[in-house]
Amino acid sequence: MSQKNLELTKAEEWLRQLVDEWAMGIAMKTSEVKVVAGCGEMSAKEEHMGINCEINGHIEGYEDFYQNDFWTVDSADDTIHLLRSSSDGQIHDHRGQWIDDATLELYWRGTFEDQEQEEQITAKWVNRNQFEIKENNYSKGKLLLTTDYVFKRKQLGE
């Protein structure tokens, strides 16, 4: 087996570790340097060809949100896809690659509400029971907001 196939197998194993129930902490920094906090939950299940994650969250001062994330690997070119559908009407296909054993970088560019937008996401698995996501949102090259998510595996009996 080639080194590339070994790395992909390890990367796919990290994705499979999403399967479970998770508590989520959120810190969102807007362009005005204001930081707001939030929390939520994620339920992740393995489905045909990927991992389906249902996220319910709350950020202070904002409406509660729902998000469906589907993680999958395109075996033709080893690209990771994060297909996201959110309660604010956005649907994005973030594409990316593993940059090391535990870190993914993903990117999306498109339009929303007639404005050019970009999203850069870094997902890092800290260990089997915790992973973190940093999401930077841009419009016309200007950083609009940064959102940090920390996911911790829920323990049995909680």
Cα 136 to Cα 65: distance, rounded to the nearest angstrom: 18
Cα 124 to Cα 99: distance, rounded to the nearest angstrom: 10
Specify the DSSP element, H or E, that contains 112. strand 103-112
Task: Identify the three-state secondary structure at position 128.
Answer: coil
Domains plus CATH for the chain? 3-153 (2.40.128.20)
- Decide: residue 74, CB within 10 A, 0-12 exposed, 13-18 middle, 19+ buried: exposed
Q: Does the pLDDT at position 153 exceed 90?
A: yes
Instruction: Answer whether 0.85 is exceeded by the pTM.
Output: yes
Q: For the segment 94-121, what is each residue's pLDDT rounded down to a tens digit?
A: 999 989 888 999 999 998 778 889 999 9
Q: Give the residue carrying structure tokens 């870094």.
A: 122
Q: For the segment 121-144, what is each residue's pLDDT rounded down to a tens digit?
A: 999 999 989 999 999 999 988 998
Strand-pair partners of 26: 38, 149
